Amino acid sequence: MPKKNPNKNNSVTLKEVAAELGVSAMTVSRAVNNSPNVDSKTKKRILEKAKKMGYTPNLVAKSLVSSKTYTVGVVIPEISHSFFPDVVRGIEEVVDSKAYQILLTNTSDNFEKEKKVIEALKAKRVDGMLISSSLMTDNFSYYKELIKSGMPIVFFDRCIENIGASCIKVNDQAASQQITEHLINLGYKKIGYLSGPKKVSIGKARFDGFNIAMIKNGLPVDDKLIIENGYNEKGGYDAMKKLLKLPAKDRPRAVVAVNDPVAFGAMDAIKDANLRIPEDIAIVGFTNDIRANLVTPPLTTVNQPAYELGKKAASKLIDTIQEKGDLVENVELITNLVVRESCGSLLYK
Amino acid sequence: MPKKNPNKNNSVTLKEVAAELGVSAMTVSRAVNNSPNVDSKTKKRILEKAKKMGYTPNLVAKSLVSSKTYTVGVVIPEISHSFFPDVVRGIEEVVDSKAYQILLTNTSDNFEKEKKVIEALKAKRVDGMLISSSLMTDNFSYYKELIKSGMPIVFFDRCIENIGASCIKVNDQAASQQITEHLINLGYKKIGYLSGPKKVSIGKARFDGFNIAMIKNGLPVDDKLIIENGYNEKGGYDAMKKLLKLPAKDRPRAVVAVNDPVAFGAMDAIKDANLRIPEDIAIVGFTNDIRANLVTPPLTTVNQPAYELGKKAASKLIDTIQEKGDLVENVELITNLVVRESCGSLLYK
DNA sequence: TTGTACGCGTTATCAA
DNA sequence: TTGATAACGCGTACAA
């Protein structure tokens, strides 16, 4: 029968400990908070009694007074998706070391849900938020107001830049250009692109990188070879299916996928069409998902330092909260090209 | 300059809205909470003003009054590890649908850390906790007290059973027995076991299943062929290395790994020793990790319904919090054997 | 060294 | 229908 009043929790308060000892609540407060100016004997008595009674400080009450919750909100499109678990691990590590904890939320890539969870995080008075946004319009008013309200925000991976909040991401555009040029240097000319929604920051940046590489090397960008779809395996599968419906002579000889999950889906589609990778169609991805070196053939891709990105974003947020590194900045972590076998080569043949 | 007082947030309160309108805070409270007994015209005025002023209810204050935070703590050994991201996704989905959110914590498989985060969650007055415990002794006093204090707890995957809290897990022992018997039925007799710490619930249950299968089939359990190590890739690699140091005639002909990451590590060790899988050593895992069908050769394993497990655990916790399905229960979700190529066969040769 | 009064933002309760 | 008051648990500021 641990509960007396079904609507109340039965946790011990400062006042109750104080009453047991015939001292004031204030003295108990001082004792449990290691304040100076407490007689060492009374302090000892208090701490013993508090422990025996199972006293646990009530951070809800504390937060109400201090306006700090030591909690940060983390807003992510898909918790279990590809590189996000590693990002979260990085975030958790940094945040834990500063005595904060994370309220983890999932938006299912849906901006309406995103707004809903952010409102909930606001109501819970988190000290700041780490956000990977699924916003797909260029109407940033919602975030502008959020930032204007004084809420510390750091965007990561899928950023909304230059509206007053810091952004931690990778060099998406340059890396996408690099991996595209890698294909070009291997002799491919007719190259397709499997895109995610381009309104999402990474969608645009990576597509831009692809275009720059093509144009710089004097290759045509053929709209028929560019398919926009979701950021997951199914999105890649369906997009590739579309490309494969083109007459054989119009098909791309190589394909750049916006991320690894899309590449995996596309690889399945290529195999289902009884074509070979890379002999018939070469393919490259972006992420260096845990599966990238296990698929057949192993996927050439861009390694994204997910764990480090999480750490960096969390550090920046905590600095912003504590007004140390208060300045807004855009940080680009550097990726590296990981060449495996899915890109093959047209040279020396 | 969004902040006036550096120590205070500048969010709008009921009282401020009330002052603007010349009504009492109580009336505003009633209006924003859809209470009955508010004049529809004043209600409308209030809601408009509240919106314009950017009022967001302060759940911290609300929680102080109601002793409910609509937050549950999730305690996990390794956030980014293998099947936990899927579990968390299941948890998040259920919890979100009930208007709760999750405080996610990581224990790094360390019980001291586990206690620390649980104390923090208690201080934040979470309404309940979902715990996958790394406790490695049979001294359950810490959890017994936590449960006695009235904190709603549901263990999942790595459970501490029969101390007053519900447990949601898979049929570890039966599944481990099943996959071991699968090897036995394929003709293997000399079978090794790569264990995790047996003080962890799944460590013991799976090891028991292995033993039962061996004994039931009249096969010897050779202590030299049982290596205990961590639950991750490195643990598996090092454990397998040890087995491979045995003289060739003493080596196991097949190996049961406590989970897929351990199996992956072991496979690397086997390959590094220039032995073939399954021709020289067959191997099976447990989890059906996303990589299991991608490694070479694809891994025979036990499929654990991670997402469903998360959903079930979260549902049970919410019921416990709301005192609906208040009874304590142990639920076993059913796994299924996934036969791939890593187990080979000694039959028909 | 210890204690008292007050306020943090909200709601339950009772009074008007 | 609306308002005043007290309470949730704690810490700051001051007084004793």
Q: Do the chains contact at B6 and A323, CB–CB below 8 Å?
A: yes
Q: Give me the pLDDT at residue A238, please.
A: 98
Identify whether B274 is part of a domain.
yes
Residue numbers of the domain that contains A162? 69-169+306-334
Both A221 and A261 in a single domain?
yes
Per-residue pLDDT tens digits for B70-91: 999 999 999 988 789 999 999 9
Q: Do the chains contact at B125 and A92, CB–CB below 8 Å?
A: no
Number of domains, chain A: 3
Phi, psi of B192 (to 5 degrees): -95, 170
Identify whether B285 is part of a domain.
yes
Interface of B with A in 111-140 (CB under 8 A): 117, 119-125
Interface of B with A in 281-300 (CB under 8 A): 290-291, 294-296
| B8 band by pLDDT with thresholds 50, 70 and 90 | low
Q: Give me the pLDDT at residue A4, please.
A: 37
Both B212 and B320 in a single domain?
no
Both A78 and A49 in a single domain?
no
Q: Give me the pLDDT at residue A136, please.
A: 85
Identify whether A3 is part of a domain.
no
Q: Which residues in chain B are closer than 8 Å to A149, comparing Cβ atoms?
A: 2, 10-11, 54
Per-residue pLDDT tens digits for B231-269: 999 999 999 999 999 999 999 999 999 999 999 999 999
Report CA(A33)–C1'(D11) in Å, whole number: 10
Burial bucket for residue B6 (CB in 10 Å: 0-12, 13-18, 19+): exposed
Per-residue pLDDT tens digits for A2-22: 333 444 567 899 999 999 999
Both B178 and B156 in a single domain?
no
Asked if the Cβ of residue A331 lies within 7 A of any atom of strand C, the reply is no
List B73's β-bridge partners, or say none: B103, B129
Higher pLDDT, A253 or B4: A253
Indicate whether B323 pLDDT > 90: no
Both A248 and A106 in a single domain?
no
Per-residue pLDDT tens digits for A219-234: 999 999 999 999 999 9
Q: Give me the pLDDT at residue B37, please.
A: 86
Both A260 and A325 in a single domain?
no
The domain that contains A31 carries what CATH number? 1.10.260.40
Average pLDDT of the residues in B2-12: 54
Q: Give me the pLDDT at residue B348, please.
A: 67
Average pLDDT of the residues in B207-222: 97
Q: Are A28 and A36 in contact, with CB atoms under 8 Å apart?
A: no
Both B283 and B178 in a single domain?
yes
Average pLDDT of the residues in A264-283: 97
Indicate whether B2 pLDDT > 50: no
Asked if the Cβ of residue A38 lies within 7 A of any atom of strand C, the reply is yes
Tokens coding B292: 């299991």
User: Which among A80, A102, A295 is the nearest to B104, CB-wise?
Assistant: A102
Average pLDDT of the residues in B126-151: 94
Q: Give me the pLDDT at residue B4, please.
A: 36
Cβ count within 10 A of residue A302 = 27
Q: To 10 degrees, the CA torsion angle through A335, A339, A341, A344?
A: 110
Per-residue pLDDT tens digits for A196-250: 999 888 999 999 999 999 999 999 999 999 999 999 999 999 999 999 999 999 9
Q: Give me the pLDDT at residue A82, please.
A: 78
Identify whether A25 is part of a domain.
yes
Both A100 and A241 in a single domain?
no
Q: Which residues in chain A are closer than 8 Å to B150, comparing Cβ atoms?
A: 2-3, 9-10
A29-38, A336-345, B99-108, B304-313: least confidently modelled range: A29-38
Q: Which of B22, B37, B57 corresponds to the end of one domain?
A: B57
CA atoms of A67 and A60, how far apart (whole Å): 10
Report CA(A32)–C1'(D9) in Å, whole number: 14
Q: Give me the pLDDT at residue B64, please.
A: 96
Percent of chain B with pLDDT over 70: 97
Q: Which residues in chain A are closer than 8 Å to B79, comparing Cβ atoms?
A: 85, 88-89, 92
Asked if the Cβ of residue B26 lies within 7 A of any atom of strand D, the reply is yes
Q: Give me the pLDDT at residue A1, please.
A: 31
Give Cα B28 to chain centroid, integer Å: 42
Per-residue pLDDT tens digits for A164-194: 999 999 999 999 999 999 999 999 999 999 9
Identify whether A5 is part of a domain.
no
Percent of chain A with pLDDT over 70: 97
Indicate whether A86 pLDDT > 80: yes
Q: Please provide the DSSP assignment of B58-82 as one string.
A: -HHHHHHHHS--SEEEEEES-TTST
Both A231 and A284 in a single domain?
yes
Pairing mode, strands B153-156 and B128-131: parallel
Asked if the Cβ of residue B33 lies within 7 A of any atom of strand D, the reply is no
Identify whether B64 is part of a domain.
no
Average pLDDT of the residues in A243-261: 96
Q: Chain A within 8 Å of B59 (Cβ-Cβ)?
A: yes
The domain that contains B288 carries what CATH number? 3.40.50.2300
Q: Give me the pLDDT at residue A3, please.
A: 36
Asked if the Cβ of residue B124 lies within 7 A of any atom of strand D, the reply is no
CA atoms of A249 and A282, how far apart (whole Å): 15
CA distance B165 to chain A (A): 14
Q: Do the chains contact at B92 and A85, CB–CB below 8 Å?
A: no
Both A204 and A145 in a single domain?
no
Both B297 and B322 in a single domain?
no
Asked if the Cβ of residue A133 lies within 7 A of any atom of strand C, the reply is no
Q: Kindly give, in sequence order, each residue whose CB lies less than 8 Å from that of residue A78, ignoring residues fewer than 6 positions away.
A: A84, A106, A108, A109, A232, B89
Both A252 and A323 in a single domain?
no
Which of the 50-109 residues on chain B come under 7 Å of nucleic strand D at their beta carbon? Answer: 61, 64-65, 67
CA atoms of A197 and A188, how far apart (whole Å): 25
> How confident is the prediction for chain B on average, in pLDDT?
94
Identify whether A62 is part of a domain.
no
Identify whether B39 is part of a domain.
yes
